[in-house]
Amino acid sequence: MSRRVLALSLLLASCSHADTHQAANSRLSLEDYRGFRATAIDLLGRAPNRAEVAELEKPDFKLDTWIDAHLTGAQYASRLTRVYMDLLRLDANTNFGMMPWQLYRVEVQGPDGPVYVYYRENQRRSDENVDGEFCLSPDDTGQIIRPRQQPVGTAKKVSKESLEHATVVVKPWWLYRDYKAESPHDLYGDTWKPGAEYKLSETLLKEPDRSATKEIRICREEAQARDTGHIYASGRTKLPPKPKDANGEKEKGKKEKPKPGELPPGGRYRPAPLDKPYATEHKGDAVSCATRLALDMSIDCGCGVALERCMPSDGDGQNSAGFYFPNHEPLGETQPLDSARQPAQRWFPYWWSREAVHFFDDLFANDEDFRLVLTGKSTLLNGPLAQFYKSVQRSNCCGPEVSFGMTEEKEPLFNPAKVPDLQPSDVSVWKKVADRGPHAAGILTMPVFLEKYASARSRAAALYSVFLCKSFVSDSAKLEPSTEPNLMIRPGCSNCHATLEPLAAYFARIEPSTFTFLPTSEFPAKNPTCKKDAKGKLNASCNALYDVAFTDDAGAVLRSAYGSPQHADEAATGAGKDIVAMPEFASCAVERVASSFLGRPTTPEDAPLLEKLTSDFKASGYKIKTIVRGVLLSDAYRHANDLSSNAGGKQ
């Protein structure tokens, strides 16, 4: 008996001695208190307070009514969101290569002392000496400036004339709340005091002499604000000839590296960029400055108004910092995790993860049809995400797509016109977007999912595992040497890939490691223009997007589409519709939610409960609350919270 009294006192520590005495002698059992405590923790995120315990002890208390009243709110939604965020592993600890929109910063010796200059990698410039490189030449600085590498040479003072010619001064978006004004004055940390979630690295707020940064100096080309530029062709179509020795013979062997502190002949480590055939053929054509093509082939496109198409960093290295934000999921506005100064490349991935959290929270808080998790068009955005979807995502296209006539995304997964009007610093303002566009498919077309699972197969496997509770594991397959490219029939592989490849085909139109959508008009599942050459290979552009292993006289098949060209044309929206229509979708959702609330994997003994929950779940229109309510009122849940030695097991 003393053991039961001790357990009761620990469970009801918030109650007074008199309350405990009353409770111990009430109609309620210890198991009732344990179950209520567990239910409150699951729904409220905390143990019940004294008022809630008193409510429990009233003669007319009904647990089902109390549960119904608390199947709502932020804490309830967060409890369910964590289930799927954990299953999908959609954490924020990823980097995102930001070459088109990443700004690097380097310190040069100005005429009056050290000065920071910002620049973009591979920015095109009309001066051949600096085309595709830092805007000040080695003759100006005494050094070759290279992103992610140490400068080469010995720094010297840059003349005022050279500095003013190559760079300009800008008041950027990250420093000024009113950056779009004619004369911005609302300065970060001065007249503008943003919330705690928007915190710049202090290294972006100080000049080399430690004075406060009120404006930045940036290469002139990067500072251009127009929306439309023009294709530039330099006239360089071939590499310069190799140097000759005293006998007029071309020098052979490896090029000798310069000694430390020395500059190579000509002041460049690599030749100036050559004109691509597209640039030669389309010289002078208009090009959107928000595209990858503009960075590759335009000299009159920059980062936009106040550099809003670009992201700052405090150096020229891979881990150069930009902002403070948490390494892990915040616990809430009142209990956030400690923020850390983060590499600039992790800024957008962090907010991608938060988008997924808000998407799930909204779905569960409003008790919407759970099938929308894979088919829904809506999402919620804040300022950084608005900046990303309106401008930054567009700069990831287009590279090999240009050869097929697509110079900018024609059918983006997120239509930029749907993006709400938010400033990049509006990190705490979240607005709902009802319809992202025709290709949106719940979580499947969000950047956090597409970057986490970079290939079509990994995307398909995650979908299969998380939402159908199945996995691709073969216990009896024997791998034999084979040259068969079709994994659906290759011995030892077909057991899994006969299912995986058709599912992966749904993602064939979303480029691997990115979120560029390839429309059927420019990229048919089987393209007759992509054929093998005399050596049995595809040209560079075709090879990047089409699969040489599935090429014949009629053309080449889009990468990952061979398992089902029809699925490739249906795209991710087809995957969502297909998965939610499968009977395993409902039973898997029940199993995922039930095992989370029970605190253990489900067992064969749970089969009757799971069958009942699945039936009720479908009948309710796939409302998750139906599952949660059923679990919380079940005997399995009641016994899962027993403190005996076999807690959570068979009773």
The identity of residue 44, as a single letter, is L
Taking each helix axis from N to C terminus, what angle separates 63-70 and 624-632, rounded to the nearest 10 degrees? Answer: 150
What is the Cα–Cα distance from 650 to 513, expressed in whole angstroms? 45
* Closest-CA residue to 287 (of 404, 406, 388): 406
The identity of residue 243, as a single letter, is P
Burial label, 276 (beta-carbon count in 10 A; 0-12, 13-18, 19+): middle
Average pLDDT over residues 373-386: 97
* Closest-CA residue to 439 (of 375, 385, 359, 396): 375
What is the Cα–Cα distance from 466 to 295, expressed in whole angstroms? 39
Cis peptide before 398 (omega within 30 of 0): yes
Q: Which residues have a Cβ under 8 Å from the Cβ of 81 and sit 6 or more positions away?
A: 357, 360, 361, 364
Tokens found for residue 45: 């995120």
What is the Cα–Cα distance from 337 to 535, expressed in whole angstroms? 57
For 618, other C-beta atoms within 10 Å of its C-beta total: 16
For residue 317, what pLDDT is reported? Answer: 78
Average pLDDT over residues 384-389: 95
The identity of residue 259, as a single letter, is K
**H or E stretch covering 200:** strand 199-200
Q: Which residues have a Cβ under 8 Å from the Cβ of 535 and sit 6 or more positions away?
A: none
For residue 485, what pLDDT is reported? Answer: 83
What is the Cα–Cα distance from 369 to 379, expressed in whole angstroms? 15
- Tens digits of per-residue pLDDT, 345-372? 889 999 999 999 999 999 999 999 999 9
- Cα separations (Å) of 530 from 281, 404, 485, 563? 20, 10, 18, 19
Q: Which residues have a Cβ under 8 Å from the Cβ of 28 and sit 6 or more positions away?
A: 56, 57
Residues 359, 364, 368, 372: what is their CA dihedral angle, to the nearest 10 degrees? Answer: 40
At residue 339 the predicted structure's pLDDT band, cuts being 50, 70 and 90, is confident
For residue 77, what pLDDT is reported? Answer: 95
Q: By mean pLDDT, which of 35-49, 261-275, 315-329 is the weakest?
A: 261-275
Taking each helix axis from N to C terminus, what angle separates 456-468 and 494-504, rounded to the nearest 10 degrees? Answer: 100
Percent of the chain with pLDDT over 90: 64
For residue 5, what pLDDT is reported? Answer: 41
Residue 604, pLDDT above cutoff 50: yes
- Cα separations (Å) of 88 from 420, 444, 453, 459, 564? 27, 11, 10, 10, 25
For residue 3, what pLDDT is reported? Answer: 40
What is the Cα–Cα distance from 617 to 430, expressed in whole angstroms? 30
For 2, other C-beta atoms within 10 Å of its C-beta total: 6
- The CA-based angle 608-610-614, given to 5 degrees, is 120
What is the Cα–Cα distance from 35 to 41, expressed in whole angstroms? 10
Q: Which residues have a Cβ under 8 Å from the Cβ of 384 and sit 6 or more positions away?
A: 347, 348, 351, 424, 427
For residue 147, what pLDDT is reported? Answer: 84
Q: In what order do the strands lie in the sheet with 216-219?
A: 103-110, 113-120, 216-219, 167-170
Average pLDDT over residues 94-116: 86
- Cα separations (Å) of 594 from 20, 348, 559, 629? 32, 33, 38, 10
Residue 57, pLDDT above cutoff 70: yes
At residue 432 the predicted structure's pLDDT band, cuts being 50, 70 and 90, is very high
For residue 7, what pLDDT is reported? Answer: 41
- In angstroms, the first-to-last Cα distance of the chain is 20
Percent of the chain with pLDDT over 70: 86
For residue 249, what pLDDT is reported? Answer: 57
Average pLDDT over residues 280-305: 93
Long-range contacts of 92-95 (CB under 8 A, 24+ apart): 92/326, 92/327, 92/328, 92/329, 92/346, 92/349, 92/350, 92/352, 92/353, 92/354, 93/327, 93/328, 93/346, 93/349, 94/346, 94/349, 94/451, 94/452, 95/343, 95/345, 95/346, 95/349
What is the Cα–Cα distance from 320 to 300, expressed in whole angstroms? 27
What is the Cα–Cα distance from 95 to 143, expressed in whole angstroms? 29
Q: Is 104 helix (H, G, I), strand (E, B) or coil?
A: strand
- For the chain, give the mean pLDDT: 87
- Tens digits of per-residue pLDDT, 223-280? 999 999 999 999 988 876 666 555 555 555 555 555 555 665 556 667 888 998 899 9
Q: By mean pLDDT, which of 141-145, 412-416, 642-646 is the weakest?
A: 642-646
Q: By mean pLDDT, which of 73-77, 179-183, 189-193, 260-264 is the weakest?
A: 260-264
Tokens found for residue 650: 């068979």
* Closest-CA residue to 398 (of 298, 297, 292, 302): 292
* Closest-CA residue to 433 (of 382, 380, 391, 366): 380
At residue 393 the predicted structure's pLDDT band, cuts being 50, 70 and 90, is confident
Q: By mean pLDDT, which of 66-70, 247-251, 456-460, 476-480 is the weakest?
A: 247-251
For residue 648, what pLDDT is reported? Answer: 41
What is the Cα–Cα distance from 599 to 83, expressed in whole angstroms? 12
At residue 32 the predicted structure's pLDDT band, cuts being 50, 70 and 90, is confident
Residue 15, pLDDT above cutoff 70: no
For residue 8, what pLDDT is reported? Answer: 45
Tell whether the torsion through CA atoms of 447, 449, 455 and 457 is positive or negative: negative
- Tens digits of per-residue pLDDT, 492-551? 777 788 889 999 999 999 998 888 999 999 999 999 999 888 788 888 889 999 999 999
Burial label, 150 (beta-carbon count in 10 A; 0-12, 13-18, 19+): exposed
For residue 509, what pLDDT is reported? Answer: 96
Beta strands in 85-155 (DSSP E): 103-110, 113-120, 143-144, 152-153
339 or 216, higher pLDDT: 216
- Tens digits of per-residue pLDDT, 198-219? 999 999 999 999 999 999 999 9
Residue 374, pLDDT above cutoff 60: yes
- Tens digits of per-residue pLDDT, 573-591? 999 999 999 999 999 999 9
Average pLDDT over residues 59-79: 92
For 69, other C-beta atoms within 10 Å of its C-beta total: 9
Q: What's the chain's length in residues?
A: 651
Tokens found for residue 404: 């097929």
Tell whether the torsion through CA atoms of 367, 369, 370 and 373 is positive or negative: negative
Average pLDDT over residues 177-206: 94
- Tens digits of per-residue pLDDT, 480-493? 777 778 877 777 77
Q: In what order do the strands lie in the sheet with 555-558?
A: 526-527, 555-558, 546-552
Give the number of C-alpha atoms closer than 13 A to the C-alpha of residue 466, restricted to the C-beta side: 21
Average pLDDT over residues 9-15: 46
